[in-house]
Amino acid sequence: MDWFPLLNSLRIALISTGFVFFAGIFTAYKIAGMPRLVKGTLDVFLTLPLVLPPTVVGYLLLRVLGPRSSIGAWMLEQLDLKLTMHWWSAVFSTIVVTFPLMYRTARSSFEAFDETLAYAGQTLGLSNTYIFWRIRMPACKQGILAGTVLAFARALGEYGATSMLTGYIPGKTATISTTVYQLWRTGNDRLAFRWVLVNIAISVIVLLSVNMLERKKTTKGGLA
């Protein structure tokens, strides 16, 4: 059994999760303090990939990054770099698809934060950077960790946008999801089912992790 699809899926998920972790936290923190109208408008734009069909997201990414697009054509002409049909091309699609999960979860955590703790830190002369990393983030860590785990799981199982941006090349761009589809399409149900079991096992582990984080959060809230 060739384990490349699993390893490729893991590295794509890890890279994209690392990016959306910081980007989602930064964006959520900035937007959480904005006026309601501005916040609602930005929410619609930033959360849209979460409700759009993955194939629509993939199509839009092809219009932006494909070799016929302005960006894709410029990269191909100036740097001889094609932004599609590489394993790392999937990172673009997984970032777009998973960002809303990280952003919404982090924003909810920041909005539930007791601002009197930050005000108390300011009266003690603490910098905003110190307050953010040493007071705000520890208080919101359960929600942020849950968002990170969900983003990783979503990236690991992404298919629609990824298949349109990277295709399926065994040993080069294959992921778990695209491998399952190709094996089913070619009639290799036995091997496809094995990959399904691998995906289910990973998903169960992820969901158990999220439940444990939520349980810890609830327990702490009850003790408080």
- Give the pLDDT of residue 213: 67
Instruction: Record the pTM.
Output: 0.87
pLDDT in tens, 103-113: 999 998 998 88
Structure tokens at 41: 């408008």
Q: Distance (Å, rounded) from C-alpha 64 to C-alpha 62? A: 5
Work out the average pLDDT over 5-23. 95
Ramachandran assignment for 69, one of left (phi > 0), alpha (psi -120 to 50 degrees), beta (any other)? beta
Rounded Cα distance, 203 and 197, in Å? 10
Report yes or no: 105 and 48 within 8 Å, Cβ to Cβ: no
Give 112-160 pLDDT, tens digit per residue.
Answer: 888 898 889 889 888 888 999 999 998 888 889 888 988 998 999 899 9
Residue 216: per-residue pLDDT = 64
Q: pLDDT tens digits, residue range 173-222? A: 999 999 999 999 999 999 999 999 998 898 888 888 777 766 665 555 55
The pLDDT tens digits for 23-39 are 999 999 999 888 888 88
